[in-house]
């Protein structure tokens, strides 16, 4: 554009083309069409023109006209910077406010102040805020400057998490919320590396629980899954829906309560109340504990001293009793409650049958003179008819029930106690329906069971000789009337 | 179905209740004589009445005669020791629909109830 007879109007473009600055030198003689001249310069360099650009040029030219001896320059065009997009972000809700729970009288249980961020199925865990694209910019040449797009978090979730279209994050199952790196999930395994004490509070968890240290006095762990405690269990409560592995043993000080939905394995049990729905395994000893095992108790190296152990299935231990003067009672092959119910039924049946016979005689007498009955006798005969039918129904139900109880006992009990080393004098052993008070030390390996007649016997597992249990113990049959009454009942 | 049991003997009412419960009837009302039955029948509105003959205060025959003056359709079964033919005819003339003679068995009672209700429904 510049030529010898035209003023040297200069246009300076910034390196990023975001700014165009127009220079009018001193003494430049602009013709009347000075605005047009400047516009032409901008046009030649490709600068986009707009009303605001033209207004700036007019202002600059006007300044020059007023004061032509000075250099004039002005930024006449500016680009628009791009606005970058926001990255995707995760806003997690505050979980578990650990509200202090007050009882009706205002007392606070600090045992219940759990510090665990547990969630329930359906809980809203937070929100995933989506990334934004931002806004593109433009330079003075009209070229688009693309905005930086917001990045995705690349969040990984599994089936435990639902991300709704509106971004809300919902727990699909109960458990612990785990957010590690870009992974978010609800896990049903709770691992606690510390003791269970006031720092953790009681643990109630829908899943499996692993405790790396000790469960302190008076604390409670309840899990619908399995519980694994590496340290000792003190006078605490453990309730496992499935299995429990109490590696450090149980030192219960007469206050520990252990309830296991399936199998329990532990090193030792001392002064605790234990209920195991299936099998029990104890590595060393049971001391002064009250134990009910619905399945088997197999522990070849375990000694039982001063405890009350009831095993429905087979039982295999090292030693029963000790030199200490503490009462030890081992029951094998009885189903708690069922044997008692069977005895009650068997006791009731002959009484009902005897009563029926009385009514039957009275009814038979009336039947012989049915055509000459007084109105009162006719009513009595109707009554007897119904009473006999009712008693027949009752007898049938009891017999059926007794059969089912026998089936239960056959299925869930096993009259089989094996002792590897020693049964000390003074211990009580209940083997099926037989109570035995052992009167002398008995050296193992021995097997306590019943013979084909149902009598209790002891088998020496080395010589394989069988001896009546009464040779070693004072024995007594529980529900001795059971067999005879059952026979009488037919 | 709503059934009213009218008998002065509680044992007999219990027997009848037992049979009816086994037949699946649970809406039952009891009256200890005819007078008691008359005082309850309007409120209970039974679909069937089992009626004893010999009762204190008001016997079954007097009850049925009074009852039929106001209600001609509700079936009534007489359950009684009165087995003479003349007595049966007298009861039927008074408005009884069926008859069960004591002593009876549960089967006979349930059979009579079914018969009576089938006939009433026809």
Supply the ipTM of this predicted assembly.
Answer: 0.78
Q: Report the pLDDT value the prediction gives residue A486, as an integer from 0 to 100.
A: 40
Say how far apart CA A172 and CA A177 lie, in whole Å: 11
Mark whether A309 and A242 lie in a shared domain.
yes
- CB within 8 Å: B102 and A370: no
Domain boundary among A156, A187, A218: A187
Instruction: Give chain B's domain count.
Output: 1
Shared domain for A209 and A327, answered yes or no, is yes
- What pLDDT was estimated at residue B82? 79
Q: Which two tokens stand for residue A171?
A: 């727990």
Q: Are A93 and A171 in contact (CB under 8 A)?
A: no
Instruction: Please give the pLDDT value at position A6.
Output: 52
**pLDDT score recorded for residue A65:** 85
> Greater confidence, B71 or A3?
B71
- List the 11-30 stretch of B: residues with Cβ below 8 A of A: 11-12, 15, 18
Pick left, alpha or beta for residue A77 (phi over 0 → left; psi -120 to 50 → alpha; otherwise beta): beta
Rg (CA), chain B: 13
Q: How many domains does chain A have?
A: 4
Cα gap A35→A166, rounded to integer Å = 55
Identify all chain A residues contacting B101, using CB atoms and an 8 Å cutoff: 378
Residue B88 to chain A, least CA–CA distance (Å): 15
Residue B24 sits in a domain whose CATH number is 3.40.50.2300
Pick from B9, B82, B106: CB nearest A386:
B106
Shared domain for A270 and A314, answered yes or no, is: yes
Residues A316 and A203 in one domain: yes
Between CA B85 and CA B91, with CA B87 as vertex, the angle to 5 degrees is: 115
pLDDT per position as a tens digit, A143-158 = 999 999 999 989 999 9
Strand order in the sheet with A168-171: A89-92, A124-129, A168-171, A161-163
**Chain A contact set for B18 (CB, 8 A):** 386, 390
Contacts of A158 (CB under 8 A, 6+ apart): A185
In the stretch 36-55 of chain B, residues with CB closer than 8 A to chain A read: 54
Among candidates B64, B47, B42, which has minimal Cα distance to B1?
Answer: B47
In a domain, A222, yes or no: yes
Same domain, A97 and A203: no
The answer to whether the CB atoms of A379 and B102 lie below 8 A apart is yes
Residues of B in contact with A383 (CB under 8 A): 11-12, 15
For residue A113, is it within any domain? yes
A459 within domain boundaries: no
- Both A99 and A124 in one domain: the answer is yes
Tell me, yes or no, if A183 comes closer than 8 A to chain B by beta carbon: no
Q: Are residues A95 and A74 in the same domain?
A: no
Q: How many CB atoms sit inside 10 A of residue A261's CB?
A: 19
Give the chain A residue whose CA is nearest to the CA of B79.
A379
pLDDT of residue A113: 60
Q: Do B12 and A370 touch (CB under 8 A)?
A: no
User: Do residues A202 and A323 share a domain?
Assistant: yes
In chain A, which residues have pLDDT < 70? 1-7, 31-32, 95-117, 324-325, 479-490
* CA angle A135–A138–A140, rounded 5-degree value: 160
Listed in sequence order, the residues at least 6 apart from A474 whose beta carbon sits closer than 8 Å to its beta carbon are A436, A437, A439
Residues A97, A159 within the same domain: yes
Whether the CB of B106 is below 8 Å from some CB of chain A: the reply is yes
Q: DSSP letter at B24? A: T
Nearest to A207 by CA among A188, A227, A187: A188
**Cβ-Cβ contacts under 8 Å, B106 against chain A:** 385-386, 389
Query: In terms of residue numbers, what domain contains A41?
Result: 10-78
Do A61 and A103 share a structural domain?
no
Of B11, B81, B104, the CB nearest to A375: B81
Per-residue pLDDT, A112: 65
Q: What confidence score (pLDDT) does residue A481 get?
A: 37
Residue A465 β-bridge partners:
A460
Tell me how close the Cα of B104 comes to any Cα of chain A, in angstroms.
6
Taking CA atoms, what residue in B is nearest to A388? B105
The shortest CB-CB distance from B54 to any of A366, A375, A389 is to A375
Interchain contact, A386 vs B18, CB within 8 Å: yes
Q: How far apart are CA A271 and CA B109, in angstroms?
A: 64
Averaged over B47-52, what is the pLDDT? 94
Q: Domain for residue A364, yes or no?
A: yes
Residue A482 lies in a domain: no
Question: Could you tell me if A325 and A198 lie in one domain?
Answer: yes
Non-local (6+) Cβ contacts of B9 within 8 A are A379, B52
Q: Quick one: A263 and A345 in the same domain?
A: no
- Per-residue confidence (pLDDT) for residue A49, from 0 to 100: 85
The residue range of the domain holding B15 is 2-121
Residue A490 lies in a domain: no
**Subunit contact A382:B102, Cβ cutoff 8 A:** yes
pLDDT tens string A425-469: 999 999 988 999 999 999 989 999 999 998 999 999 999 999 999
pLDDT score, position A338: 83
Q: Which tens digit of pLDDT belongs to each residue from B100-114? A: 988 888 888 888 988
């Amino acid at each position: 554009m510049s030529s010898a007879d035209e003023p040297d109007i200069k246009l300076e473009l910034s390196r990023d083309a975001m700014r165009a600055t127009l220079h009018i030198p001193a003494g430049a003689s602009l013709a009347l069409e000075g605005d047009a001249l400047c516009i032409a310069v901008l046009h030649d360099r490709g600068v986009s023109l707009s009303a605001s650009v033209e207004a700036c040029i007019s202002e600059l030219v006007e300044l020059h006209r007023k004061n032509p001896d000075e250099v004039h320059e002005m930024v006449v065009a500016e680009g628009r910077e791009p606005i970058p997009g926001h990255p995707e972000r995760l806003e997690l809700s505050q979980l578990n406010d650990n509200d202090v729970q007050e009882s009706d009288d205002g007392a606070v249980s600090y045992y219940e102040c759990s510090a665990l961020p547990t969630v329930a199925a359906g809980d809203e865990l937070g929100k995933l805020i989506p990334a934004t694209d931002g806004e593109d910019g433009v330079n003075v040449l009209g070229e688009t400057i693309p905005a930086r797009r917001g990045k995705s978090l690349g969040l990984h979730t599994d089936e435990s998490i639902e991300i709704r279209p509106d971004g809300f994050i919902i727990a699909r199952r109960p458990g612990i919320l785990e957010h590690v790196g870009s992974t978010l999930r609800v896990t049903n395994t709770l691992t606690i590396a510390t003791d269970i004490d006031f720092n953790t509070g009681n643990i109630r968890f829908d899943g499996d629980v692993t405790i790396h240290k000790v469960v302190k006095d008076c604390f409670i762990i309840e899990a619908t899954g399995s519980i694994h405690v590496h340290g000792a269990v003190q006078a605490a409560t453990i309730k496992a829906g499935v299995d429990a592995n109490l590696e450090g043993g149980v030192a219960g000080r007469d206050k520990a309560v252990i309830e296991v939905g399936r199998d329990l394995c532990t090193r030792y049990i001392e002064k605790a109340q234990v209920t195991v729905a299936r099998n029990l395994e104890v590595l060393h000893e049971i001391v002064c504990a009250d134990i009910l095992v619905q399945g088997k108790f197999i522990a070849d190296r375990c000694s039982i001293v001063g405890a009350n152990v009831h095993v429905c299935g087979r039982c295999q231990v090292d030693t029963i009793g000790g030199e200490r003067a503490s009462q030890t009672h081992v029951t094998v092959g009885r189903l708690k409650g069922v044997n008692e119910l069977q005895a009650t039924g068997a006791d009731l049946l002959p009484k009902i049958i005897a009563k029926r016979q009385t009514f039957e005689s009275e009814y038979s007498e009336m039947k012989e003179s049915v055509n000459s009955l007084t109105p009162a006798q006719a009513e009595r005969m109707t009554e007897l008819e119904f009473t006999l039918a009712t008693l027949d129904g009752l007898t049938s139900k009891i017999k059926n029930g007794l059969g089912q109880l026998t089936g239960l006992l056959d299925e869930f009990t096993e009259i089989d106690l094996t002792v590897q080393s020693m049964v000390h004098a003074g211990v009580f052993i209940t083997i099926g329906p037989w109570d035995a008070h052992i009167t002398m030390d008995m050296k193992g390996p021995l097997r306590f069971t019943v013979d084909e007649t149902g009598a209790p016997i002891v088998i020496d597992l080395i010589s394989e000789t069988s001896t009546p249990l009464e040779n070693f113990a004072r024995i007594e049959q529980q529900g001795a009337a059971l067999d005879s009454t059952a026979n009488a009942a037919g | 179905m709503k059934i009213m049991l009218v008998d002065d003997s509680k044992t007999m009412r219990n027997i009848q209740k037992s049979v009816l419960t086994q037949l699946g009837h649970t809406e039952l009302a009891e009256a200890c004589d005819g007078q008691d039955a008359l005082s309850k029948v309007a409120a209970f509105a039974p679909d069937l009445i089992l009626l004893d003959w010999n009762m204190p205060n008001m016997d079954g025959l007097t009850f049925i005669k009074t009852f039929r003056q106001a209600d001609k359709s509700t079936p009534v079964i007489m359950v009684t020791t009165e087995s003479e033919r003349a007595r049966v005819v007298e009861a039927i003339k008074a408005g009884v629909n069926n008859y069960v003679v004591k002593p009876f068995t549960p089967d006979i009672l349930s059979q009579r109830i079914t018969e009576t209700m089938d006939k009433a429904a026809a």
